[in-house]
C-alpha cells in the first residue's frame, strides 16, 4: 500500500464516526488537510459532503444536497428533531459565543453552569417548579454535550466550554427560524394561560 492509500481509510473512518478536531490529533488533522481531494471524491460517491473549517480546527460530514438527476442514495446521517429546551439552549450558547468573539481575543469560551441556568431562566414562565427547571436544564446540557457543542470541565461539571463547532450548525438562518418558533410558542402559552415552560417539553 502507498502512504496515500494507507492513510485514506483512517481519515474516512474518523469522519464517519463524528467530528474530527485538530486539537485531538494533529497528525490525523494534517492527513485530512493533505488528502482533501480523495476524501471528498469518496464521500461524494456515498452521498456525503465534507465541511472543513481550517481556521477553527474542525471538520464534519453532512448529507450532500441532491439534484433532480442524482440517483437515490439512502441518507447516512440522520437529521434529529431537537426539543424546545435543547434548541433554546443552543441559541443562547451561540449568542454567548458571538458576544465573546466580538469582545475578546481569547479563542476558548468557558462559562459557569450557573450563568447558563440564569440565561435559560429568562425564558421560563413564572410558576415553574425550580427543581423541575434545574432538572430540565441539566437534561438539555447533557444532550448538547452528546451532540458535541459543549464540554464539561472539572469533576463537578460546574464549568462549561462552548465548542466553536456550534458556529457551523447554529448560523444566522437557524437563529432566525428559532426566534420565529419561540415567538409562536410564547404567544401560544400566553393565549392558553399555560405554565408549561420547559417542564413538559
pLDDT, greater one: 57 or 179: 57
Based on DSSP, count helices (H) and strands (E) in the chain, helices before strands: 8, 6
Q: Which domains does the chain have, with CATH numbers?
A: 3-63 (1.10.10), 84-192 (1.10.10)
Is the predicted pLDDT of residue 35 greater than 50, yes or no? yes
**pTM higher than 0.75, yes or no?**
no
161 DSSP β-pair partners: 110, 151
Is the predicted pLDDT of residue 14 greater than 70, yes or no? yes
How many residues can be counted in the chain? Answer: 201
pLDDT, greater one: 64 or 41: 41
Q: Are 12 and 41 in contact (CB under 8 A)?
A: no
Amino acid at each position: 500500500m502507498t502512504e496515500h492509500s494507507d492513510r485514506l481509510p483512517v481519515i474516512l473512518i474518523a469522519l464517519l464516526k463524528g467530528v474530527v478536531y485538530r486539537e485531538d490529533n494533529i497528525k490525523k488533522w494534517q492527513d485530512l488537510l493533505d488528502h482533501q481531494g480523495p476524501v471528498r471524491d469518496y464521500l461524494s460517491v456515498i452521498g456525503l459532503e465534507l465541511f472543513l473549517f481550517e481556521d477553527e480546527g474542525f471538520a464534519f460530514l453532512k448529507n450532500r444536497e441532491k439534484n433532480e438527476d442524482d440517483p437515490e442514495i439512502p441518507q447516512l446521517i440522520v437529521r434529529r428533531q431537537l426539543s424546545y429546551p435543547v434548541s433554546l439552549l443552543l441559541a443562547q450558547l451561540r449568542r454567548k459565543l458571538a458576544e465573546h468573539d466580538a469582545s475578546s481575543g481569547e479563542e476558548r469560551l468557558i462559562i459557569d453552569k450557573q450563568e447558563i441556568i440564569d440565561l435559560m431562566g429568562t425564558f421560563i414562565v413564572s410558576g415553574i417548579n425550580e427543581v423541575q427547571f434545574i432538572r430540565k436544564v441539566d437534561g438539555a446540557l447533557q444532550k448538547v454535550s452528546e451532540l458535541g457543542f459543549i464540554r464539561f470541565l472539572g469533576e463537578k461539571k460546574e464549568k462549561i466550554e462552548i465548542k466553536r463547532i456550534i458556529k457551523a450548525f447554529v448560523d444566522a438562518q437557524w437563529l432566525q427560524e428559532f426566534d420565529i418558533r419561540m415567538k409562536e410558542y410564547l404567544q401560544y402559552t400566553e393565549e392558553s394561560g399555560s405554565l408549561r415552560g420547559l417542564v413538559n417539553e
